[in-house]
Chain A
């Protein structure tokens, strides 16, 4: 059974870089051409698509975040990562990772708070 789990610091200071990892178990992240996504949701608000990385490392990003976002894949660790630089309070949200273009599987999400 495939599972996805987000991990990373729950508290990040303003202007610093938010770094999260999504660990995938039950399936090789490089076994077939797939997209691996990051999505976030501020408290009480809707979902926001952040971006995705393909099995070969190619990426697509939300244009509104593109200047601050880097998504990468580490096939040796079977995980993919999100880095969001120059964070502000507006980046406080639950961050989800999700599998495939069709978001066929979601992680449980991890809350990241941006505060000094």
Chain B
């Protein structure tokens, strides 16, 4: 069973920069895992911000960016806004099946 790991919680100050990571327990994440980042705010349906490692949807704020970093997928928020407080999930594909990480709770404080 493939396990995808994320930081359980991260705190950042408004205007700051923060990087969330997403990785496999046994191997490096590559672009072939098609990393996808999903944001979910309380009581709302999720929405996807980043796909295929670093591509953005039309609704993705410019302050969000995706990359590969040290064998993991990474989501960087530059100039964090209070409205970025949310749960962030990454999704990786392995052998045609998707696997979500456990999510990172981002607190803006």
Contact = CB atoms under 8 A, between A and B. Distances in A.
B57 interface: yes
B51 A104 contact: yes
B97 A103 contact: no
Contact of B36 (A51, A52, A102, A109): A102
Interface string B25-44: 00000000010101010000
Contact of B45 (A61, A64, A109): A109
B97 A60 contact: yes
Interface of B: 1, 34, 36, 38, 40, 45-48, 51-52, 55, 57, 87, 89, 91, 93, 96-103
Q: Do most interface residues of chain B lie in helix, strand or loop, or is the interface mixed?
A: strand
Contacts of A56: none
Nearest to A48: B100
28 contacts: A39-B100, A46-B89, A46-B100, A46-B102, A47-B38, A47-B89, A47-B100, A47-B103, A48-B100, A49-B91, A49-B100, A51-B97, A52-B98, A60-B98, A61-B97, A63-B97, A96-B46, A101-B34, A102-B36, A102-B51, A102-B52, A103-B46, A104-B48, A104-B57, A106-B45, A106-B48, A107-B45, A109-B45
